[in-house]
């Protein structure tokens, strides 16, 4: 499967499980000191219509190790299967694609968006130590690792939180870094090389780390401030910056090469810059009504690949009876295309240094509608069910489409369903 497709899907899964995995460290010190263990278990089902299906069980454990000190452990196992777009455009004839190693082929019928069947599994583990530094400060240190068929990652993180203003203001500083190994099945192709000119690689084994092995480094930092405004209102501002270097190209994606009539002649393996600088501004506010609670967040993202994105996110928790609640969710996001994004390449034009037809780098609008039901189980446990519908769409009939390309949807809408069941217990 395409590496960046997997990364995008897993970011979506991480967002869907953020309550389970993301909030425990930040809020653990605010809970009762008599609590020795917290256990969160979750099973998440993610399905893109006619494309990718993911099943992801997650286990989170937190152990109290001392006064206001905790150790957090999380284990994630997910399986992915289905089909993923390879970047080529549909055309009026069947299309046959060959891997970079020349050892495998697959064919797409005429008029259909080319999809590549795949299956993949991933195991990820993370451990955090959350401890007080003094009566106004906390520190969180973490290590994480993951492995899958063609990808390995190991990372470290450190976060410092400092209270001011009678603990009404909290400053957060965090850094994280990872070292990733990319091992494309069949080896990594030469960027922008014609598929027809690819030479079978002797290092073409599954998950090969020889000639086909690549690496990348990722570093992230965040600075944020959280302010209690009133008895009912809380707000938070964050600035994040990230830097990636190394192999950032997706080895499984291609770009169609077409003639003046729009007919597909060949394909080039995509190419992306080997450096990426990412930045974002994030604002979140929470307001507690007499019974209900509203959370609203806005994020502005930009990077040096030319992508700019705006995201608004709204949760409204409605208290029902005896601790049960219903929480509608609405999320809306838009982004501009990367400066090297293209639907295809004209055979008479010079070959660019960088080009990608990955729709996730194009002009994209994503809308999410969701609903979560929480039910208390006993005095210290909770069972909840979350259901979300996600729609991703773009411009499938661009004005600059050439010839027969005008007959096809070059950016088909993707509809996704997410279902998550979570159990939380404290004892």
Task: Quote the pLDDT of residue 322.
Answer: 86
Please give the Cα distance from 217 to 243 (Å, whole number).
8
Task: Quote the pLDDT of residue 187.
Answer: 85
Q: Which percentage of the chain shows pLDDT scores above 70?
A: 88
Task: Quote the pLDDT of residue 169.
Answer: 97
Q: Which residues of the chain have pLDDT under 50?
A: 1, 17-33, 203-211
Beta strands of 183-324 (E only): which ranges?
A: 214-228, 233-246, 254-258, 264-269, 275-288, 293-303, 308-319
Task: Quote the pLDDT of residue 32.
Answer: 46
Domains of the chain: 3-426 (2.40.160.40)
User: What phi, psi does 254 have (nearest 5°)?
Assistant: -130, 170
Tokens of 113: 């968006």
**CA-wise closest residue to 151 among 233, 83, 104, 212:** 212
**CA-wise closest residue to 215 among 175, 251, 248:** 248
| 270-301: b (≥16 Cβ within 10 Å) or e | bbbbeebebebebebbbeeeeeebebbbebeb
CB 63 within 8 A of CB 39: no
Task: Quote the pLDDT of residue 9.
Answer: 62
Tokens of 266: 């060949």
Name the strand (E) or helix (H) holding 15.
helix 3-16
């Amino acid at each position: 499967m395409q590496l960046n497709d997997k990364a995008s899907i897993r970011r979506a899964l991480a967002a869907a499980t953020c309550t389970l995995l993301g909030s425990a460290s930040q809020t653990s010190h605010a809970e009762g000191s008599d609590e020795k263990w917290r256990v969160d278990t979750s099973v998440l089902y993610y399905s893109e219509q006619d494309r990718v299906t993911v099943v992801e069980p997650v286990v989170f454990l937190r152990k109290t190790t001392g006064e206001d000190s905790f150790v957090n452990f999380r284990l994630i196992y997910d399986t992915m299967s289905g089909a993923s777009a390879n970047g080529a455009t549909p055309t009026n004839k069947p299309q046959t694609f060959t891997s970079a190693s020349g050892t495998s082929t697959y064919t797409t019928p005429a008029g259909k968006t080319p999809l590549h069947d795949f299956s993949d599994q991933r195991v990820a583990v993370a451990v955090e130590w959350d401890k007080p530094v003094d009566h106004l400060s906390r520190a969180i240190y973490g290590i994480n690792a993951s492995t899958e068929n063609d990808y390995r990652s190991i990372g470290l993180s450190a976060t410092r939180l400092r209270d001011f203003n009678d603990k009404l203001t909290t400053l957060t500083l965090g850094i994280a870094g990872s070292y990733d190994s990319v091992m494309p099945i069949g080896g990594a192709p030469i960027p922008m090389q014609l598929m027809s000119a690819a030479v079978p690689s002797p290092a073409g084994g599954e998950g090969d780390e020889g000639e086909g092995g690549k690496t990348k480094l990722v570093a992230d930092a965040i600075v944020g401030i959280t302010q209690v405004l009133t008895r009912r209102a809380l707000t938070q501002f964050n600035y994040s910056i990230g830097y990636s270097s190394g192999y950032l190209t997706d080895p499984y994606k291609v770009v169609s090469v077409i003639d003046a009539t729009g007919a597909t002649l060949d394909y080039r393996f995509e190419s992306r810059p080997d450096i990426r600088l990412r930045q974002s501004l994030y604002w979140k506010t929470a307001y507690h009504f007499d019974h209900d609670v509203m959370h609203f967040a806005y994020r502005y993202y930009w990077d040096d690949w030319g992508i700019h994105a705006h995201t608004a996110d709204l949760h409204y928790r409605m208290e029902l009876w005896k601790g049960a609640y219903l929480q509608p969710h609405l999320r809306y996001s838009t982004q501009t295309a990367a400066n090297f994004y293209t639907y295809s390449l004209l055979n008479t034009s010079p070959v660019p240094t960088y080009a990608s037809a990955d729709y996730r780098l194009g002009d994209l609008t994503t809308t999410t509608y969701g609903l979560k039901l929480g039910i208390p189980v006993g005095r210290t446990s909770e069972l909840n069910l979350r259901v979300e519908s996600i729609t991703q769409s773009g411009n499938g009939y661009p004005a600059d489409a050439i010839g027969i390309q005008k007959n096809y949807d070059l950016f088909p809408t993707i509809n996704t369903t997410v279902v998550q069941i979570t159990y939380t217990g404290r004892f």
